[in-house]
Structure 1
Amino acid sequence: MVAAALLFAAGLLLTPLSLAALLPRLPRRPNYAGRPTPTAAGLAFLPIILVTLLLSPAPAWAPAYLLLCGVVGFADDAMGGEEARGFAGHLRALLRGRVTGGQVKVLGIGGGALVVGAVLYGASASALAAAFLLAGSAHLANLLDVRPGRAVKFLGVFVPALSLGAGGGVLAGVAGVLGGVMTLFYFDLRGRIMLGDAGAAVWGAAVGCLVVASGPGWVWWAFGAAVLGLTLVAEFYSVSGIIREVGALRRFDEWGRG
């Protein structure tokens, strides 16, 4: 727990410094309101992830997976501007011979999750379940990251309870990112930056690591069902539209937004 606390504090300090250095170089894209906004701000997580991977006693699989998600997410940000949406859209693009950022994410983040699952559980059903939770959580954050602060809010409410069940080792592996998310949350919420896939994938993967660290059980089943259900819903309906129609969700979503 001491290592987790130190890395959390390091994330609080290092991430805003990284963002300040990156900000002039980040690409700008129109946000949901059409205002040009720096995107791929999640690149600011990479220094604290590297510190965790190289210097901390945390199990290497957690920060290594976060690093992979950040790199693959940034590749998607860099490709940008694609018309394909959802799994069906990316599959249709593939059948037409067109490579999309979404396909890169599925291969990179999904493939990395399978490796982590095999490292943790060998050739077993638990390995496949762990891989689904890791990749699915990263995907869920990307689904939510279409309005300022939404992905951090809706996944963040689960982090305190998940942290208690994760154990000190894996918690230390993601603590730097948790601290970093806290420092970027205000700027994301106020629409001054966009996390981009580089940030949302890392944030979602960090939550997924905490879920996986709880071990096979009801948390896996509940979180997995939520990921699967929301992914299927998003293929046919607008997640933003659903949130807008449900009063409690709408108020929570809009809280603090500039």
Structure 2
Amino acid sequence: MIVSLGISGLLTRAATAALRTLAPGGRGRWERENYAGRAVELYAGPAAALAAAVAAGRVRPAAGVAVAVAGACGAYDDFAGTGDPRRGFRAHLTALRGGELTSGAVKLFGISAAGLLAGALMKERAVDKVLAGVVIAGAAHAVNLVDVRPGRAAGTVLALAVPGLLREGPAAELAAAATGAAGAVLPDDLGERAMVGDAGAHALGAALGAAVVAGAGRAGLVAHAAAVVAAAVCGERVSALAGARG
């Protein structure tokens, strides 16, 4: 567990520093305006996604793939979806029916597919495989939903993952992968110097979901699947109301 925690935390900081130095595509590409109009950096999100994927992958390769895909889909939205006013699954699915593949649709299908694949590889029984996939993909989405103010996404992951460190085996190791990355980005996130963006939020959520899957039985999977589905439904309603008012 200590190794997973260290790999995740240290690699997040190292990758953040490397991206800040290299700034692929120019520094302007890596800057955004936050809710308060302050300029913040996006380096921490992809760095946390990479670190959490590496740390999770050494424990459960399927979990590492799910985290990596969630981070990649989130990064695509961060950089390709900038300025798209559409929010919620319904809006993106409506656009898809009209022949437009939005960055939100890429996230929806990419993260869902990766979550279901990871769940299928991490569990043995068919029902558990599906429930596990819902938990991993749903957790990725749920953490992204709370990422509306500095520190919300990373803080939520820490609050939910730290108790998992008290478990044993793969569940604790995967919880450590999520904890290390979230803890590494939290100070800059809270200080409004950086934001984790969709890349970081989705990847950290997927790592958290994988930790739950690794340690949960059927009853636990049902409870967590119900929770993330409820969060998605609530988020969809909020998005719909915001769109109607906008």
TM-score, normalised by the number of residues in structure 2: 0.85
Shift of 1:209: 0.8
Aligned residue number for residue 35 of structure 1: 38
Are the structure 2 counterparts of residues 51 and 113 from structure 1 closer, same or farther at C-alpha, using a change threshold of 3 Å? closer
Once residues 202 and 53 of structure 2 are traced to their aligned partners in structure 1, the CA distance between those partners, rounded to angstroms, is 16
SS, match of residue 12 in structure 2: helix
Structure 2 residue 142 is matched with structure 1 residue 140: yes
Query: Which residue number in structure 2 is paired with residue 5 of structure 1?
Result: 2
Do residues 169 (structure 1) and 166 (structure 2) align? no
Shift of 1:40: 5.2
Indicate how the Cα distance of structure 1 residues 214 and 143 shifts in structure 2: closer, same or farther if over 3 A, else same: same
Return the letter of the residue paired with 1:230. A
Contact 1:134 1:205 in 2 (8 A): yes
Count of aligned pairs between the two proteins: 234
Q: Give the conservation status (yes or no) of the 8 Å contact 2:62–2:118.
A: yes
> Within 2, Cα distance between the matches of 1:97 and 1:176?
38
CA contact (8 A) 2:158 2:179 kept: no
Q: Name the residue aligned to 2:129.
A: 127
SS in 2 for 1:232: helix
1:17-36 mapped onto 2 (5 Å cutoff): 17-23=14-20, 25=23, 27-36=30-39
Number of the residue aligned with 1:112: 114
Q: Where do residues 41-60 of structure 1 align in structure 2 (5 Å cutoff)? A: 41-49=44-52, 51-52=54-55, 56=58, 58-60=59-61
TM-score, reference length from structure 1: 0.81
Structure 1 pair 36–140 and aligned structure 2 pair: CA distance change class (3 A):
same
Q: Which amino acid aligns with 1:158?
A: L
Aligned residue identity for 1:200? A
For 2:92, the equivalent position in structure 1 comes to 90
Contact 1:152 1:185 in 2 (8 A): yes
Q: 1:207 is paired with a residue of what secondary structure?
A: helix
Question: Deviation at 1:176?
Answer: 3.6
Residue in structure 1 matched with residue 186 of structure 2 by the alignment = 185
Distance in 1 of aligned mates of 2:177 and 2:122: 22
Partner of 1:210: 211
- SS where residue 37 of structure 1 aligns? strand
* Runs (5+) with no aligned partner, structure 2: 24-28
Per-residue deviation, 1:87: 0.8
* RMSD (Å), alpha carbons: 2.4
State the shift of 1:50 in Å. 6.0
Letter in 2 for 1:36: A
C-alpha distance in structure 2 between counterparts of 1:37 and 1:47, whole Å = 20
- The answer to whether the 8 A contact 1:68-1:108 is kept is yes
Residues 42 and 196 in structure 1, CA contact (< 8 A), matched pair in contact too:
yes
**AA at the equivalent of 1:30:** E
Compared with structure 1, are the counterparts of its residues 225 and 155 closer, same or farther at alpha carbon in structure 2 (3 Å cutoff)?
Answer: farther
Letter in 1 for 2:150: P
Distance 1:47 1:109, change over 3 A: closer
The separation in 2 between residues aligned to 1:135 and 1:124, in whole angstroms, is 17
How far 1:186 sits from its partner (Å)?
A: 0.9
- Kept in 2, the 8 Å contact 1:177–1:206? The answer is yes
Residue number in structure 2 paired with 1:196: 197
CA drift of 1:154 comes to 2.7
Give the unaligned 5+ runs of structure 1: 242-258
Structure 2 Cα separation of the partners of residues 131 and 229 of structure 1: 15
**Structure 2 Cα separation of the partners of residues 205 and 198 of structure 1:** 11
